[in-house]
Amino acid sequence: MNLQNLRAFFKWCTILNGAVLILWSLLIRCAAPWVFDMHHYWIPISAEFFPSAIYLLLGLFKILVIAFNLVPYIALVIIGRKQG
């Protein structure tokens, strides 16, 4: 796998995971009661704890996207510019 393919891979991973992050945020913002009811059906979670849990998971996902998708992509772009 060459540098261009690796860079394209991380670029698309960042774009797709960013889209999931935006969709997740919009769902929570616009349809929170529906999302809570769906999750409450699967697991017994209280309405008071649900916003904290979602905020924690959303933040964790954002950190993981930045650390494992965006940062490697930026590093590969920098390496690519220095090589050619």
pTM of the model: 0.88
Q: Supply the range of the domain harboring residue 27.
A: 3-83
Residue range 28-53, pLDDT digits in tens: 999 999 999 999 999 999 999 999 99
Give the span between the Cα atoms of 63 and 67, in whole angstroms: 6
| Count, residues in the chain | 84
Q: Describe the crossing of helices 3-30 and 71-83 by its angle, rounded to 10 degrees.
A: 150
Selection from 50, 66, 64, 71 nearest residue 7 by Cα: 71
pLDDT of residue 37: 94
Summarize pLDDT for 51-76 with one digit per residue, the tens.
Answer: 999 999 999 999 999 999 999 999 99
Q: Quick one: tokens of 53?
A: 């849990």
| Number of domains the chain is built from | 1
